[in-house]
Structure formats: C-alpha cells, structure tokens
Homo-oligomer: A and B are copies of this chain.
Amino acid sequence: VEEKTSSGLSAIGSTGIDPETVRGNIENFIGTAQVPLGVAGPLLVNGDHARGIFYIPMATTEGALVRSYERGMAAISHSGGAQALVLEDENQTAPTFFFPTVREAREFALWLPEQQELLREECSASTRHGVLTSCRCHQVGRNVIANFGFGTGDAQGMNMIVRATDRLCRRACQEFGSGEFLLFSGMCSEKRASAFLMTRGKGKRATAGALLPNKVLRMVLHTTAEKLMQVWHSTVIGHLQAGAIGYNAHVANGLTAIFIATGQDVANVVNSSVAITSFDPCSEGLYVSVTLPALSIATVGGGTGLATQNEALAMLGCCGSGKATKLAEIITASVLAGEISMAAAIASHEFVAAHETYGRNRPKEAQDPPTK
C-alpha cells in the first residue's frame, strides 16, 4: 500500500496487533489507528448491576471533552450518584415481504405473528445466543414489514439476528405458501436516526437520573437551577425548530469516546445518540435525567476482545459475558454527566473559556484551535 499511495505508513504499521487476531474484524489489514485515550472520573453509579465508583475510558481528539465530562461526573458524585437502569433490552430487524395485493398482504400480516413458536424454533436452529422475542407486522400497501425482536445476550448481535432473520423469512414464505422478501427495509434504524427508535428502541433502552442539590449546582457547576432550566427550555425550542430527533446536548460526544475506547461498533453511535435529556425543577435543586432508547453495546464479540479495548472494559469491570447491562448503566450515567456539564457551561457563559484552557497547545495552531 505504501508503494501504491507513495506514502509512509510506519506509525500505522507499528502495531502490536497480530493480524490473525483481527481476522473477523477487518479485511486488508495494514495496522492500527491510534486514538488518544483519557480517563474521566470518579463517577458514582447506583445501578442494578453497576454499583460504586467508576473511572471512564474515553478515546477522543476533541480537547476539553474529557474534562467537561469529568466535571459533570463530579456534580453527580457530589450529589450521591446517578441511578442508572436498563428498562428494556431487545435488538430488532425489519425485513419486507411482498404480495400481489393489499388483501393478500393483510392475510400474511395477520398470520405471521401467530407463528411465533414455529419462528422461535427456526431461530434457535440458526443461533445459540439469539432468541426471538417478538414479531409485529407493519403493512404499507401490499408490502408487509415484519419487525422481529431478539434477545442477544451480551453481544451487540446484529450479525447473528440478521442471519436468523434470513432463515425466518425463508421459512415464513415457505409455510405461508407465497411471498417474497428482502432482508432489510431500513425500518429497524440500525446506524441511523429515526423517530421509531424513540418508541421501539434498539438494544438497551436505558435511563439515568440524579437530583443535583442547589449547593452542587453552585459550587461544582457555577450556575443555578433556574439558569439551567432556561438553557433546557431554549435549547428544546432550538431542537423543535430544527426538526431534530429527540433532544440532547451532546450525547454523541460521550458515546463516541467510550465506544472507541471499549471496542463497540462506533457507527452505532448514530442510533445510540437518539435521546431525551430532561431537566425538572424541584425545591431541593434540579432533577436531571437522560434516556437512551437505542443503546447498542456489547461486552463480547466485535472489537471488545482486542487488546486495548479489552483493557478499557476491564477498567470498568465489564469484560465478557454477563456484563452488558452493567456497561449500559455506566455509559448512560456517563452520558448524563456530559449533558449536565454542557448545559452548565452554556448557562454560566464558561463554554468558550473552558475550551480556551483545555483545547489549546496544539503544536501547529496555538492561535486558532479549529476543532470543537
């Protein structure tokens, strides 16, 4: 490749990774991209599975990002921690079936959801880890989009459930006696933003909440509940004016940094960052929460087994089987920290100053640091 592109690749090539170990992860492997990794914390989490203090690995090149999340984590931890919960856990696919008329399509749409036992058997013949959990049909004209739900254990699971879906579709057409299908309709919203994700979810539906006392708002965040409510109010209006999906301050920043660090499928940030951040005023201070309906994460498979990624998971006590729910709780609480910190920076007019301090000292651009 060096030859073809007339460029040196010594840094990329100087990887410690054995090409054999990434054979299922990538093709045409030539080395690694190295992304700077920092740690934010401590963060106190009160989840069902994540309980205690955590230090969060974040891989990013955006100056001030780790510091910003860390400040939100301080606010949460000084407030007694964030509750973090996984509300639902189901990945889903959405193939399309084709019929000659709307009437025949309806017949299929009524028939399919009644075959769940049959489909469950077919599914278990395809995958050991994926379990068919639901089937709902959406008829649009003479097309029927079948929305299959799956449990995928601690894996992100898209590969296994797409393979299972392929078998389910073949079997369904065979049993029904007619119909053709295509494996994807796009309705499942894998790696894209859609309103459907708000209600249907994808992977973990998780929420985190914390009550920030007035004292913490003042001492740690240099602002007040009233000012934070003004930020929430006016930015909600900005989102409505933009026709955004959901509402959040910068969920994508935290998710991306943690996803890269811990070996997640980083493109899933697009669906995972669909969110609703809510600030509710109360007499003691401010109740803050973030809800992530479509958090796609894993502690097994994909990039989770690679060397640096596995170490990052180990920092969180989240390596391997049985840890995905815990990881989801930690991530959601971390994201909440970022929402708090960003809103506070806007409210206190400290946003620019913070970036001046931390986003500087880049070798060639001391005067004009161009990235956010």
Contacts and interface: CB of A to CB of B under 8 A. Distances in A.
A312 to B, nearest CB: 7
A21 to B, nearest CB: 6
A264 to B, nearest CB: 8
A192 interface: yes
A142 B280 contact: yes
13 contacts: A11-B16, A11-B310, A12-B37, A24-B360, A26-B65, A138-B241, A143-B278, A157-B371, A159-B372, A187-B242, A188-B242, A236-B236, A241-B276
**How would you classify the secondary structure of chain A's contact residues: helix, strand, loop or mixed?**
mixed
A30 B66 CA distance: 12
Given A162-B372, A184-B235, A369-B159, A267 B265 contact: no
How many chain A residues sit at the interface, stated as a range, is: 35 or more
Identical subunits present: 4
Contact of A352 (B85, B183, B197): B183
Contacts of A325: none
B184 A355 contact: no
A352 B167 CA distance: 10
A9 interface: yes
Interface string A21-50: 111111111111111111110100000000
A8 B314 contact: yes
Contacts of A31: 37, 308
